[in-house]
Structure 1
Amino acid sequence: MGRQGHEPLPAHRPSGRPPGSPPGPCGPVTGPRRPVKGTSVRPRALVYGDVDLNLIDGSAIWAQGMVQALARAGCSVTLVLKAPVRTGRLVDPLRSLSDVTVHSPHAEGRIEADRGMTPKEAAITLAEVDAADPFDLIVVRGKRLAGKLSGGPLAGRMWTYLTDVPQSAGEFDGASKGELRRIADASRVLLCQTEELRTFMESAVPATAGKSVLFPPVVVLPDGLERRQDGAPEGRALRLVYTGKFAPRWNTLEMTSLPKLLDRRGVEAELHMIGDKVHDDPEDPTYSTRMKNALETGQSVVWHGGHPRAEAMRLTAGCDVGLSWRAPDMDASLELSTKVLECGTLGVPVVMNRTPMHERLFGADYPLFAASEDDVVDALALIGKNPESYALAVERCRAAAAEFSLEAAAGRLTEYLAHAFPEPSEAVLAAAAAPAGGLDGLLGVPAQGTGNGAPRKLRVGVAGHDLKFFTALLNYLKSRPDMEIRVDHWRALKVHDPERSQELVDWADVIVCEWCGPNALWYAAHKRPEQRLVVRLHRFELYSGWPRKLDIDAVDQVICVSPHYRDLTLEITGWPSTKVTVVPNWVDDRQLGRDKLPGTQHHLGMIGIAPSRKRLDLALDVVEELRREDPRFTLFVKSKLPWEYWWIWQKEEERAHYEQVFHRIRRSPLLAGGVVFDAYGRDVAAWLRRIGFVLSTSDDESFHLAPAEGMAAGAIPALLNWPGADTIYDTRWIHADPASMAASIAATVREGRWESERLVAREQVTTAYGLDEVCRQWTALLAGTPVEAVSAV
């Protein structure tokens, strides 16, 4: 059994750093707080929702489901309650779970007021709970609370569940964006209830891109409760049911008239209302009184009052149709009703508003969509007399709800936890234990351990002026329990703090220079003899003078992203072949792997069109060829425009190229309406949901990440044969010229091969360039072991 009752809270607040952990010369140690594991250790999760678990509504059910899912995913969970416990309907089942601890600050005398904690009080309390033994992840729900936590000691470990945020562009102002950006920056993970919400957040707040993952509502059937097995009701009244709060926008007052209206249509019905939370509406002072009166005296209305969740679901299972009909202004909501999913799990179909999200889940022909009271009555009258329509509604609701089970939620969290807390590597620990020294050697600390019995971690320093191409890898390295990471961030290509850089030399076992520029030259000249130095070289530096100045004898490995550029590097520099290896660019296949939108097989995509060697003109050739036969083909371009790059637009030949290209787009009849320019931004994963083919028409590339990202997003790559393309991509995706590219695309769609081909492409890129695979290669590289790469796709 888990720990029962209430454990006292520590009386102090944390410093924000584990005891005895110095800030370090190059910034604080940014790795996970869990110790290096000799044996398996359960991640420790602290959970708090700005929700009252005395009331049965979607937010309270979230807290219960989150704790259960985390526990099933392998976490040791501590739940802190917002409000004093007045009923154990939701809390008692959690106290009975193994490895779950429940804190009630009110029962422990920490909060004297007989009310729920304010966000400020909650932030202080959570910091106190965390202080004695810091948690690995802090799962929080509530924007105001997350805002309070974002500047405190829990920042960096927050897994923030986003719901109460503006859900339309008109609601966003500067303050809202700033607050959400701060929350995103402080969060390790952002949990989004729906794909619609994730997509909107990534476009509105760029800082959320790359951190946002899906965590839909969790539906758990209480023990002993079975799904409803009956078909359409025969020989008795149609039983309608609503569970939740009673509020104007939820149309609960209007629902109480449904039995009377159905009676006029010859359908006998009764309405079961479950809940005890009646809202006071400032705009309608009489609402509460009228609502209660309707519950108590309405024709064929049975008001059951508040009940434990298990009993509420048992009552629901005894009914025929659930009600989730809401005011039209809620149709734009990016959240999904937990009650709808609970009804579906129970085999009870639901009347609901027709929205794009509901159509995606339940199908456009779902028979119980309703926009008005008349629609509701029509739909209920139909299923009251038509068993086939009723059976269709039941099946659609059951199928949709299957995606939201506790097992599915635990599976998602297991995957997210595995990525956030990777297992230690024996090779890395062995490399760290080798007698390299660093400051340990200078201070006389044994190299093989930390002095407290735990294995010593490998110290990795990262140096560079621009880490945008290294961010995903850097985050992964920081998450490893067998590595400590410090960053020497140069202010500019040639500008740094020599004292800070020297401190990194004194500390690190391995130094990674991102870019083979002045940073690599400095570290090659200053590194310790036993220290390992790794330099990642890009196309930009290869044609500069820096590689020729680099002391290659001081470098252990130079990393190129493709075999072609490895060969060019060896040809240009004359370096020994043993010094230059290939570790490809990574593709965040987890973030990119999202459901496609309708019609994507006719949508071409191009990411980045500047400078002119990207050859937008050749992409236009492809579009014209396709639109001669099928005007549905459209090119979507996601890019900054060339005049937004001063270093490009100052060149006369670049301006002339783009003037000709844009003149052609304006004048070509075949291109009219066939080219769409989308704003540059970090929301690439969301944008790729509507792209079926990603084009690469460049004159040359070192790797060209865009086709690989498209493949990970379930699109088909289409490349011209730029030098080295066949060393990175399967030749089935490479074409001789724009005409053959267009012919291949047209045939793929016409012959119905788009679905199967895109799945092949995704499997290829995940195997060779998926983030897990490339991180595996980098882990081996930093440990000094051979890198066994997967062959090109």
Structure 2
Amino acid sequence: MYGDVDLNIIDGSAIWAQSMAQALAAAGCEVTLLLKAQVRTDRLTAPLTETPGVRLVRPYEDKMLSDLGPRGLTPEQAVELMGRLHARKPFDLVVVRGRRLAGLAAQEEALAGRLWTYLTDFPHSVGELTATAAAELTDIALASRFVLCQTEELRAFLESTVPAACGRSVLFPPVAAVPEGVTADGQTHARTRLAYTGKFAPRWNTLEMTGLPEELSRLGVDSELVMIGDKIHAEPADWAKRMRKALESTPNVDWRGGMARADALRQSAECDFGLSWRDPDMDASLELSTKVLELGALGLPVVLNRTPMHEALLGADYPLFAGEDTASVAAVIARAYHDRAVYAEAAERCRAAAAEHTLERAAERLRGYLAETIPAAPAGADPERPLKVVIAGHDLKFFTRLAEYLDSLPGLDVRIDEWEGLSTHDQYRSRELAGWADVVICEWCGPNALFYAKWKRPDQRLIVRLHRFELYAEWPRRLDIGKVDAVVCVSPHYADLTRELTGWPADKVVVLPNWVDDRQLDRPKLAGAEYSLGMIGIAPSRKRLDRGLDVLSELRRMDPRYTLSVKTKQPWEYWWIWNRPEERAYFERVYRRIQRDEQLASGVIFDGFGPDVATWLRRVGFVLSTSDDESFHLAPAECAASGGVPALLPWPGSDTIYDPHWIHDDPVVMAEAIHATVSEGRFAEESDRARAEVTSVYGLERVRGLWSDLVVRGGVPAGRGSTAHAGAGG
């Protein structure tokens, strides 16, 4: 682990490094922490030396490089040392903080794929995100197993602007670890004390804070400001001089200097209020102050700016949101000082928010990510004698996540035979892999399946995954089913069609459903999401956007707040669709309808196609499935996993995948059901039901388990398949 931070200076980034090392150790890791600078004070390192499982590497004291400068390791030097340490004893994961550092580490082949990258120092608005920065962040994301995001807002921004971060971005909020038994006494005192800990910098309003005791005295409140820290920003020079003078000579300002984190928290607990009031320029920040959480964990009510993030954390009616000047800060403090109920409410809000950010909660979160990164060997697999698995196909986009998972399993040796086209491949390599493999998985029942069936050995197993695309083609009829151990379909309906059209033995056609990445999709909905409908992908015409418009039109007659967001490529972006006259005529007709209907023109939003579905779904309450036919249709399931409600029209087989509760006879009935759910206040109830049903059957962990069991032991699900409603298979 390495953070491009100096642990001699107590600030948010240094506290992160200490907390991250402790949380990783608590999660069961052996942590090697590379220090940036020579240890001049052990206020942050001493607790780490006492933490079991943490080892400090001191490049200055141990003279690990000959050209060490006075300001600590450069990013280049840090990456060089990480590479040396890794070569000596390989690490399973490499946790780094700092954009420049991460960019360099991403270029190191030995570290790529092992990186857990924590990023805060990148542009937090689209206007500031240059093409160069976006390219650098893309390289970092591609080389990272996880990109650790401090807040949901930061994750949403990153995924929306850097597509490579989608699927890799996970939450790792700040850790608020306080010494055991240290807590505020929960009341105000005759002389009230205000606590500020951290660095002194212009945008942190630390100079303005020194005027609070005088401002409060005008309101009849006797107060003292306790300021803990020793890092004063040197620029601008005039400001730094004024800051130091204010700390040293302002009446009722008690500057206690720098100290160990635990000591700073103990002294803060003796105060009545915490301060995290900053310049309005920082209101758009996507970071959450660790100090807010630490002070809250002590039981102190914290004065801070009103921002969307702080409102989400503490509630829009939190009583200690302050304005832009010291008078507004003094006013909210005076109110809470004089009104015991207001003080108690603010303290409880802060304490409750901090409870989600304990060291134990951070370790629990990390254990989940570790299980994802380093899964246990599946039953029946022998890491000493790995099962040799080949995955072959011309288009693996639907199988990539499963392939990555199988490759990560101890006891499996996975190789990919990616064909250039349906029939185009390196025959010599494919033949070599056919002779090497114990198990072959053919993604698509095409020429790849015919090839591997031809070369199959008696002691080898062949699994073919069949999609809607091949079902009516010639390849299934040419396949020697006697050479195939299992044909996988994603739904009971298509399994039945496969048996009917091919005449294959019923027990060879099995159902392993598509998966829903429920962990990635589980994100808080934005306010008003219940009034937003969504559709994902509306081409070709059989997706029936016109029916979705019918639903919206009905809803907007009941309540104009309803809108329809369509996340899609446009039909003219698919040459094979736009070249068909009937397709072009359909979309021209539908788009003309949107343009000419005032209700629709103001209610339909087209969003760009991309992998940021989880972020997009935060503002969508209902996802519509209005198609003529589908093999599975994942979008409604993704909606349910995100905390939304699926809404389907009855395409063939829909009731074998989704509970009939979510299936409606026609657009009018669908619109009435949606409006009843919203207007009767049942959205949360319905979304909870949908999430429970979908994740229990299509959750990523369950579907992965079905696949690993099939690959390792040849096991298939009991019965003819499983669906979202109590296992009915039809």
TM range (shorter): over 0.9
Deviation string 1:634-691 (CA, Å, 9 cap, x unpaired) is: 1111111111111111111111111111111122233242211111111100111111
Confirm or deny that 1:732 pairs with 2:661. Answer: yes
Amino acid at match of 1:72: A
Offset, 1:106: 1.3
2:394 is aligned, of 465, 481, 484, to 465
TM-score using structure 1 length: 0.89
User: Following the alignment from structure 2 to structure 1, what is the Cα–Cα distance between the partners of residues 421 and 138?
Assistant: 25
| 242-251 or 494-503, which deviates more | 494-503
**Which residue does the alignment assign to 1:509?**
438
**Which residue does the alignment assign to 2:727?**
none
- Kept in 2: contact 1:81–1:102 (CA 8 A): yes
* Partner SS for 1:428: coil
- Kept in 1: contact 2:381–2:410 (CA 8 A): no
**What aligned pairs does 1:562-581 form with structure 2 within 5 A after superposition?**
562-581=491-510
2:138 is aligned, of 139, 162, 181, to 181
**Which residue does the alignment assign to 1:257?**
211
User: Following the alignment from structure 1 to structure 2, what is the Cα–Cα distance between the partners of residues 492 and 247?
Assistant: 59
- Kept in 1: contact 2:388–2:437 (CA 8 A): yes
Offset, 1:576: 2.1
**Which residue does the alignment assign to 1:791?**
722
**Which residue does the alignment assign to 2:415?**
486
User: Following the alignment from structure 2 to structure 1, what is the Cα–Cα distance between the partners of residues 486 and 160?
Assistant: 38
Deviation string 1:737-773 (CA, Å, 9 cap, x unpaired) is: 1111111112222222211111111011111110011
**What aligned pairs does 1:67-146 form with structure 2 within 5 A after superposition?**
67-111=21-65, 112-146=68-102
Confirm or deny that 1:351 pairs with 2:307. Answer: no
Q: Which runs of 4+ in 1 moved over 6 A?
A: none
- Kept in 2: contact 1:688–1:710 (CA 8 A): yes
User: Following the alignment from structure 1 to structure 2, what is the Cα–Cα distance between the partners of residues 787 and 525?
Assistant: 24
* Partner SS for 1:605: strand
Confirm or deny that 1:211 pairs with 2:168. Answer: yes
- Kept in 1: contact 2:462–2:486 (CA 8 A): yes
**Which residue does the alignment assign to 2:183?**
227
Offset, 1:232: 2.3
**What aligned pairs does 1:628-707 form with structure 2 within 5 A after superposition?**
628-707=557-636
- Kept in 2: contact 1:428–1:779 (CA 8 A): no
**Which residue does the alignment assign to 1:475?**
404
- Kept in 2: contact 1:427–1:785 (CA 8 A): no
**Which residue does the alignment assign to 1:278?**
232
**Which residue does the alignment assign to 1:360?**
312
Confirm or deny that 1:321 pairs with 2:277. Answer: no
- Kept in 1: contact 2:511–2:722 (CA 8 A): no
User: Following the alignment from structure 1 to structure 2, what is the Cα–Cα distance between the partners of residues 493 and 300?
Assistant: 78
**Unaligned runs of at least 5 residues, structure 2:** 725-730
User: Following the alignment from structure 1 to structure 2, what is the Cα–Cα distance between the partners of residues 307 and 428?
Assistant: 52
1:369 is aligned, of 305, 310, 321, to 321
Offset, 1:505: 1.9
User: Following the alignment from structure 1 to structure 2, what is the Cα–Cα distance between the partners of residues 189 and 508?
Assistant: 31
**Which residue does the alignment assign to 1:551?**
480
User: Following the alignment from structure 2 to structure 1, what is the Cα–Cα distance between the partners of residues 205 and 432?
Assistant: 65
User: Following the alignment from structure 2 to structure 1, what is the Cα–Cα distance between the partners of residues 387 and 522?
Assistant: 32
**Which residue does the alignment assign to 2:350?**
397
Confirm or deny that 1:162 pairs with 2:119. Answer: yes
**Which residue does the alignment assign to 1:341?**
293
**Which residue does the alignment assign to 1:441?**
none
| 572-581 or 334-343, which deviates more | 572-581
Amino acid at match of 1:193: Q
**Which residue does the alignment assign to 1:330?**
282
User: Following the alignment from structure 1 to structure 2, what is the Cα–Cα distance between the partners of residues 321 and 416?
Assistant: 36
TM-score using structure 2 length: 0.96
**Which residue does the alignment assign to 1:41?**
none
Amino acid at match of 2:57: H
User: Following the alignment from structure 2 to structure 1, what is the Cα–Cα distance between the partners of residues 29 and 711?
Assistant: 29
- Kept in 2: contact 1:257–1:299 (CA 8 A): no
Amino acid at match of 2:479: L
Confirm or deny that 1:456 pairs with 2:385. Answer: yes
- Kept in 1: contact 2:34–2:57 (CA 8 A): yes
- Kept in 2: contact 1:428–1:782 (CA 8 A): no
- Kept in 1: contact 2:232–2:240 (CA 8 A): yes
Offset, 1:154: 0.8
User: Following the alignment from structure 1 to structure 2, what is the Cα–Cα distance between the partners of residues 458 and 114?
Assistant: 52
**Which residue does the alignment assign to 2:150?**
193
- Kept in 1: contact 2:510–2:717 (CA 8 A): no
Offset, 1:709: 0.6
Deviation string 1:334-362 (CA, Å, 9 cap, x unpaired) is: 00000111110011111111110000011
User: Following the alignment from structure 1 to structure 2, what is the Cα–Cα distance between the partners of residues 610 and 711?
Assistant: 22
Offset, 1:391: 1.6
Offset, 1:428: 2.7
Offset, 1:534: 1.2
User: Following the alignment from structure 1 to structure 2, what is the Cα–Cα distance between the partners of residues 196 and 539?
Assistant: 38
User: Following the alignment from structure 1 to structure 2, what is the Cα–Cα distance between the partners of residues 286 and 603?
Assistant: 52
Amino acid at match of 1:333: S
Amino acid at match of 1:704: H
Aligned pairs, number: 718
Deviation string 1:141-180 (CA, Å, 9 cap, x unpaired) is: 1111111111211111111112112111011111111111
Offset, 1:533: 1.5
Amino acid at match of 2:185: Q
User: Following the alignment from structure 2 to structure 1, what is the Cα–Cα distance between the partners of residues 361 and 99?
Assistant: 26
Confirm or deny that 1:311 pairs with 2:240. Answer: no
Deviation string 1:607-648 (CA, Å, 9 cap, x unpaired) is: 110100000111111111111111111111111111111111
Offset, 1:521: 2.1
* Partner SS for 2:584: helix
**Which residue does the alignment assign to 1:425?**
378
Deviation string 1:538-576 (CA, Å, 9 cap, x unpaired) is: 111112222222232222211110111111112222222
Confirm or deny that 1:379 pairs with 2:332. Answer: yes
RMSD: 1.4
User: Following the alignment from structure 1 to structure 2, what is the Cα–Cα distance between the partners of residues 176 and 596?
Assistant: 29
1:302 is aligned, of 254, 267, 292, to 254
Amino acid at match of 1:324: S
**Unaligned runs of at least 5 residues, structure 1:** 1-46, 430-453
Offset, 1:784: 3.2
**Which residue does the alignment assign to 2:368?**
415
* Partner SS for 1:296: helix
User: Following the alignment from structure 1 to structure 2, what is the Cα–Cα distance between the partners of residues 361 and 240?
Assistant: 21
- Kept in 2: contact 1:84–1:115 (CA 8 A): no
**Which residue does the alignment assign to 2:471?**
542
User: Following the alignment from structure 2 to structure 1, what is the Cα–Cα distance between the partners of residues 337 and 673?
Assistant: 52
Offset, 1:285: 2.5
* Partner SS for 2:380: helix
Offset, 1:318: 1.0
Amino acid at match of 2:364: G
**Which residue does the alignment assign to 2:728?**
none
Offset, 1:109: 1.1
Confirm or deny that 1:710 pairs with 2:639. Answer: yes
Offset, 1:398: 0.7
